[in-house]
């Protein structure tokens, strides 16, 4: 690991580290002339951010030679940028001289994500999904062995359903529930399974652990979950998980309509639901986690 410099400001306000990096760059990087005879602070920062983005897009990280080839910057200038970013934790140097994103990036990303309300992020996309499918769309999260409905988008022809914002339903017999359960870490799934009390709601309801585990395995393989009239007879759901920046399922969305309608075009509905869930997940940091 590279040695670090003392930050210019206190640790209690992480956003000030960005100011510190800019100031450090002003002192360390050669100044660019402007018509007024000064230097362009925005150009200094822009070039530094270009380096950060190049490194962020590389899973294994990049070394000086690779960065020099990818940019028009001189080797010594690149060194100054890298040292400045490393001093504040935005980059780390690993074996072989490769640089990767550092913990400060994760800290700042976490501050942003902590302020996000998944409902605010998801709602415009849920409305769009409902308009495309002309069906009811749900957003849910897992709470114990149940799902809680966080949002519901209806159309003029929506069916009268059990679901409502704030209502709860068993996770084992709903598409939104199985979409989350299927992608939980094994130890957490085990804890949920221990809390499930199976009950038959319709002739199609799963009523034992072995059948549920088989269904969750099938869900993982195809990437989306199905509710084939298991909670409400004649009602069919296609659901997909939403992941956070750590790759953990934190919520799910679904399209719900009559079984005879969705069965005819299941894959079409699934593709739309998966695309929407992926977009929401990226807004919550999933793409960043993949780059790490």
CA distance 256 to 46: 46
Mean pLDDT for the chain overall: 83
CB 184 within 8 A of CB 241: no
Other CB atoms within 10 Å distance of the CB of residue 85: 26
Query: Tokens 């969305």 appear where?
Result: 253
**Dihedral of alpha carbons 273, 284, 220, 162, sign:** negative
How does pLDDT run across 233-281, given as a tens digit for each residue?
A: 999 999 999 998 888 999 999 999 998 899 999 999 999 999 999 999 9
Helix (H, G, I), strand (E, B) or coil at 62: strand
- Kind and range of the H or E run holding 221: helix 209-222
Checking if the pLDDT of 291 tops 50, the result is no
Residue 124 phi/psi, 5-degree rounding, is -60, -35
- The radius of gyration computed from the CA coordinates of the chain, to the nearest angstrom, equals 25
Q: What is the pLDDT of residue 168?
A: 93
- Kind and range of the H or E run holding 151: strand 146-153
> For residue 63, what are its two tokens?
């070394």
Residue range(s) in the chain whose domain bears CATH number 1.10.10.10: 16-113
Q: What is the pLDDT of residue 214?
A: 97
> For residue 254, what are its two tokens?
């679904």
Q: What does the pLDDT average to over 59-64?
A: 88
> For residue 16, what are its two tokens?
């000030």
Length of the chain: 292
Q: Which of the four pLDDT bands, split at 50, 70 and 90, describes residue 45?
A: confident
> For residue 105, what are its two tokens?
């990036």
In the CATH hierarchy, which fold is given to the domain comprising 16-113? Arc Repressor Mutant, subunit A (1.10.10)
Q: What is the pLDDT of residue 22?
A: 45
What percentage of the chain exceeds 70 in pLDDT?
A: 81
Residue range(s) in the chain whose domain bears CATH number 3.30.450.40: 117-291
pTM to 2 decimal places? 0.66
Out of 3.30.450.40, 3.30.565.10, 3.90.1330.10, 3.55.50.30, the CATH code matching 117-291 is 3.30.450.40
- The torsion angle over the Cα atoms of residues 42, 44, 45 and 51, rounded to 10 degrees, is 140
CB 164 within 8 A of CB 152: yes
């Amino acid at each position: 690991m590279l040695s670090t410099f003392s930050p210019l400001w206190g640790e209690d306000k992480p956003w000030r580290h960005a100011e510190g990096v800019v100031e450090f760059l002003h002192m360390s990087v050669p100044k660019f002339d402007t018509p007024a005879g000064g230097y362009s602070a925005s150009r200094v920062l822009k070039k530094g951010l270009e380096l950060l983005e190049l490194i962020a897009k590389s899973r294994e990280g990049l070394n000086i030679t690779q960065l020099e080839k990818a940019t028009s910057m001189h080797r010594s200038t690149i060194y100054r940028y890298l040292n400045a970013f490393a001093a504040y934790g935005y980059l780390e140097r690993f074996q072989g001289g490769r640089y990767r994103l550092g913990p400060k990036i994760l800290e700042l990303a976490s501050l942003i994500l902590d302020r996000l309300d998944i409902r605010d992020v998801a709602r415009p996309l849920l409305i769009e999904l409902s308009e495309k499918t002309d069906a009811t769309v749900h957003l849910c999260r897992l709470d114990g062995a149940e799902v809680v409905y966080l949002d519901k988008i209806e159309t003029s022809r929506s069916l009268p359903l059990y679901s409502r914002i704030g209502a709860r339903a068993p996770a084992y017999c709903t598409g939104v529930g199985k979409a989350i359960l299927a992608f939980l870490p094994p130890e957490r799934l085990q804890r949920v399974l221990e809390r499930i009390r199976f009950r038959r709601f319709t002739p199609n309801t799963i009523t034992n652990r072995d059948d549920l585990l088989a269904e969750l395995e099938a869900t993982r393989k195809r990437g989306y979950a199905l509710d084939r009239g298991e909670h409400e007879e004649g009602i069919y759901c296609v659901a997909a998980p939403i992941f956070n920046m750590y790759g953990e399922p934190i919520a799910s969305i679904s399209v719900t309509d009559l079984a005879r309608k969705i069965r005819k075009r299941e894959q079409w509905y699934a593709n739309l639901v998966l695309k929407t869930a992926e977009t929401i997940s990226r807004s919550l940091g999933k793409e960043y986690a993949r780059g790490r």
